[in-house]
Amino acid sequence: MTENTMTENGMTIYHDGDSYPIELTRPEADTFSDLALILKYVPRERAITPAEVTAREERKMEHERQAADFGAQIKRLAALDHHDLTLVLALVELIEFGDANHHGGNWVLEFIKSVLWQIQRVGPATLLEQDPRSALTNLAGGLSEYWDLIRGGRTMAERHPSLFPAPPAEPEAVSESSTTSKPAKPRRARKVAMRQPKALKRSA
C-alpha cells in the first residue's frame, strides 16, 4: 500500500488568490467528491423578500409561544419513540456541557444551534431545500473558531506556564492483592483465675 499524498486524495480551497490544500483519506475524498459532483444540480441561494422576512419572524414567535406551554411540549416528548428520545437527551447533555463561557468553545453546539435557528424560521422542509454550501460554511466556521481557540490556549500555556499549573497527579491504583485482607486470627481466650469469695476464705 502506497502512502497517501495530496496528488492521490485531497482538495484545495481557493480564496482571494491564495490556495489552501487539505489532505484527505480515500473515504473522505469519496464523500467530498460526491458532494462536489452533485452541487451543480443544487440551486444557489437567493435574496429573501420582505414578506419572507415577516413570515420567518412570525414562525419564530410561534416557537416562543409553544415553548411557554410546558405541558404540551412534555406530551410531544412522550410521543417520541425510545431512540428519538435518547437523541433529545443527548442534545440536552450537549447544551448542559456548554461552551466554557467562550464563543467558539463548542463547535458541535454552535453548528446544531445554527441548524435549529433556521428550522425555527423556515421549517425543516425549506431548510432541506437550501444550498448545502451554507451548512458547510456554518460548520467550517465553528470548527475553525474552536481549533483556533485550542491553538491559542496551547500558545498561552507555553508562554505563561505559571498560569497553567499541571493538574495534580492521580493516586496510584492499589492492586487487588494488596487490598485483599487476610482473615483475622481468632483471639485466644484469656485465662481468668477464679477468685474465692472472702466469706468462704474466713470460714475455712
d(CA 161, CA 180): 42
Q: Would you call 20 helix, strand, or coil by DSSP? A: strand
Convert the pLDDT of each residue in 43-101 to its tens digit: 998 899 999 999 999 999 999 999 999 999 999 999 999 999 999 999 999 999 999 88
The least confident of 9-18, 88-97, 154-163, 176-185 is: 176-185
pTM: 0.72
d(CA 130, CA 138): 13
pLDDT at 116 over 80: yes
Convert the pLDDT of each residue in 129-146 to its tens digit: 999 999 999 999 999 999
Convert the pLDDT of each residue in 181-202 to its tens digit: 555 565 665 554 545 555 544 4
Burial of 74 (0-12, 13-18, 19+ CB in 10 A): exposed
d(CA 94, CA 82): 19
Cα 79 → chain centroid: 26
